[in-house]
């Protein structure tokens, strides 16, 4: 771009205005000043300014900046906004991006989305649209998914302000779940803003790496996440739940936002029902209690965590093992007695012999009636080693046929079905990783209605971790196990298979 079209005097006045504390430290004032609200002949001719919820977020940032003033150790602004559809999230993302780029000389802004298509076609298109309407649009140049200051501006800043401009930019950055470390690398004392658009679909590993962006002790640190709350798992969900102490959060019902199509929202409610997944996510801005294809609902898990342990010494102890060796996956050993999970043990990076040793330790401590081990992958070697040592164990192949092949597509789906039924009366420890494991897998019915469970590979492609702890519990339901009580109990004639609802045999078992 050529030199500014304004006179030198006008340009100096514009810089003085945009870099003054009244606009620099007040995003709302900046947005009202920079864009042509209500001006005839512009795209904003019929718009008096930002919507109420947008003004509130901008004002919250202003207050954060004010609170940071005078501190020695500065805090990072961390905001997460969950909302229904069509409320103007992308517009707000654009204003924040342009404000940071314009007011923090030398700063870096990173914008990411849940997918490349969302980033390029929606988020980035919206940013460049608003930049074209900005009063200082001639300050910057656009190249693919990067916005940089024009050459004349960098020369002026470096010459007169003696300030480097190498990192002064906005970047639309893609991410890779397979290589999250490639997302890292931004450190800038002049300031960093990180924006996640449709953040519910960004995997936990990218959230984790992004914490490294904010290591410099500067007041100009902002991490903002916007999304329709489509998933009730993952980091975005946790910002409203387990991590809510570290985030400022806001839930916005689309019906409360001025200028939106209220008839559309009412149609969604009428068509799918007021308690439906669609109404929760698309209208109310609430996380769903369970997805349409979610196998185990959050409410079921929450209730099982709140339920007190059920001590039953006559119930058999069963140990379930889900072995893993590499990466983020963990070997999990679950100890279940009747309706109670006594303990979950996690081990990472262990080889076959080490896993076998951990299982032996659990066997010696709990003296189980049966040990069930997922014999896929590393588990096959563990099964062989324990059998060699004459331990009473059984290998379980998750891909084997289910006993009830009409309902369940394979053994894994059938075990998870038994675990889901057990959760209605069972007790599990309060463990957020276990909860994520339990509620993450989706069902995958075939054309005949037979249910399969989403594979670990498919879950990882969605940015979810392997449900190691849940699989370890599920495998305890692979086979019926007899009671430890040596008295002949009364058989419930209402059951046709001789087993109680907890999957425990009601018949006597000898030594």
Domains in the chain: boundaries:
8-252, 253-288, 298-505
Structurally, what CATH architecture does the domain formed by 8-252 represent? 3-Layer(aba) Sandwich (3.40)
Residues 225, 136: Cα–Cα separation, whole Å: 26
DSSP string, 475-507: GGGSS-EE-S--S-PPP-TT-SSSB-TTSEE-S
Name the E strands within 279-399.
317-322, 331-337, 340-347, 370-374, 393-396
User: What number of residues does the chain have?
Assistant: 511
**CA nearest neighbour of 465 among 180, 165, 141, 219:** 180
Query: Contact at 8 Å (CB) between 326 and 349?
Result: yes
Measured at the CA of 456, the angle between CA 451 and CA 460, to 5 degrees, comes to 125
Residues 383, 374: Cα–Cα separation, whole Å: 9
Query: Contact at 8 Å (CB) between 197 and 113?
Result: yes
Tokens of 347: 């081990």
Residues 393, 256: Cα–Cα separation, whole Å: 58
Residues 138, 161: Cα–Cα separation, whole Å: 20
Matching fold, domains 8-252 and 298-505: no
* Biggest alpha carbon–alpha carbon distance for the chain: 99
Tokens of 66: 């004010």
Per-residue pLDDT 10s for the chain (511 aa) are 444 567 888 899 999 999 999 999 999 999 999 999 999 999 999 999 999 999 999 999 999 999 999 888 999 999 999 999 999 999 999 999 999 999 999 999 999 998 898 899 999 999 999 999 999 999 999 988 999 999 999 999 999 999 999 999 999 999 988 889 899 877 889 999 999 999 998 999 999 999 889 988 999 999 999 999 888 778 999 999 888 899 999 999 999 999 999 999 999 898 778 877 778 888 999 987 655 567 888 888 999 999 999 888 889 999 999 998 666 678 999 999 999 999 999 998 888 999 999 999 999 999 999 999 999 888 899 999 999 999 989 999 999 999 988 888 999 999 999 999 999 999 999 998 899 899 888 887 665 667 888 888 888 766 677 899 999 999 999 999 876 554 444 433 333 333 233 333 332 222 2
Residues 165, 155: Cα–Cα separation, whole Å: 9
Tokens of 270: 């009428």
Tokens of 223: 């991490």
Instruction: Specify the 3-state DSSP secondary structure of 509.
Output: coil
pTM for the complete prediction? 0.62
Residues 432, 434: Cα–Cα separation, whole Å: 5
**CA nearest neighbour of 278 among 330, 244, 325, 228:** 228
Query: What per-residue confidence (pLDDT) applies to 325?
Result: 67
CATH class of 298-505: alpha beta
**CA nearest neighbour of 48 among 60, 36, 56, 63:** 36
Which residues are 341's β-sheet partners? Answer: 336
């Amino acid at each position: 771009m050529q030199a500014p079209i304004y006179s030198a005097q006008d340009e100096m006045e514009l810089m003085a205005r945009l870099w003054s504390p009244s606009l620099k430290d007040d995003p709302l004032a900046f947005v009202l000043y920079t864009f042509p609200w209500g001006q005839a002949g512009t795209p904003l001719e019929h718009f008096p300014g930002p919507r109420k919820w947008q003004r509130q977020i901008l004002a919250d940032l202003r207050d954060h900046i004010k609170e940071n003033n005078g501190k020695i150790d500065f805090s990072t602004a961390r905001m997460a906004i969950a909302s229904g559809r069509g409320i103007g999230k992308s517009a707000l993302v654009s204003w924040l991006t342009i404000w940071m780029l314009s007011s923090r000389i030398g700063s870096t802004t990173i914008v990411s989305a849940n997918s490349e298509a969302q980033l390029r076609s929606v988020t980035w298109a919206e940013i460049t649209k608003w930049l074209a309407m900005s009063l200082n649009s001639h300050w910057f140049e656009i190249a693919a998914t990067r916005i940089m200051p024009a050459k004349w501006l960098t020369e002026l800043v470096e010459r007169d302000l003696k300030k480097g401009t190498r990192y002064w930019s906005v970047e639309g950055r893609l991410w890779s779940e397979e290589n999250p470390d490639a997302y890292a690398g931004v450190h800038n004392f002049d300031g960093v803003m990180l924006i996640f658009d449709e953040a519910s679909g960004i995997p936990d590993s990218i959230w984790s790496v992004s914490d490294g962006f904010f290591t410099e002790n500067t007041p100009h640190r902002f991490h903002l996440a916007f999304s329709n709350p489509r998933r009730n798992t993952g980091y975005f969900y946790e910002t409203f739940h387990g991590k809510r102490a570290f985030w400022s959060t806001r839930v916005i019902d689309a019906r409360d936002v001025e200028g939106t199509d209220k008839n559309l929202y009412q149609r969604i409610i009428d068509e799918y029902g007021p308690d439906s997944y669609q109404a929760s996510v698309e209208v109310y801005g609430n996380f769903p209690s369970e997805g349409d294809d979610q196998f185990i609902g959050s409410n079921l898990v929450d209730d099982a965590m709140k339920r007190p342990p059920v001590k039953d010494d006559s119930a058999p102890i069963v140990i379930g093992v889900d072995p893993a060796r590499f990466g983020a996956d963990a070997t999990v050993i679950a100890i279940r007695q009747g309706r109670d999970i006594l303990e979950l043990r996690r081990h990472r990076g262990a080889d076959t012999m080490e896993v076998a040793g951990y299982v032996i330790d659990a066997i010696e401590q709990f003296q189980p009636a049966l040990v069930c081990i997922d014999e896929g992958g590393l588990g096959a070697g563990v099964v062989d080693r324990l059998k060699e040592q004459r331990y009473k164990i059984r290998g379980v192949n998750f891909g084997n046929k289910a006993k009830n092949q009409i309902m369940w597509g394979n053994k894994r789906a059938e075990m998870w079905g038994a675990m889901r039924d057990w959760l209605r009366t069972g007790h599990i420890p309060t463990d957020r990783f276990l909860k994520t494991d339990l509620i993450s897998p989706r069902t995958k019915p075939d054309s005949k209605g037979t249910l399969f469970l989403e594979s670990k590979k498919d879950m990882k492609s969605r940015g979810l971790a392997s449900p190691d702890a849940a699989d370890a519990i599920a495998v305890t339901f692979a086979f019926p196990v007899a009671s430890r009580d040596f008295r002949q109990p009364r058989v419930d004639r209402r059951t046709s298979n001789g087993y109680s609802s907890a999957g425990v045999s009601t018949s006597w078992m000898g030594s």
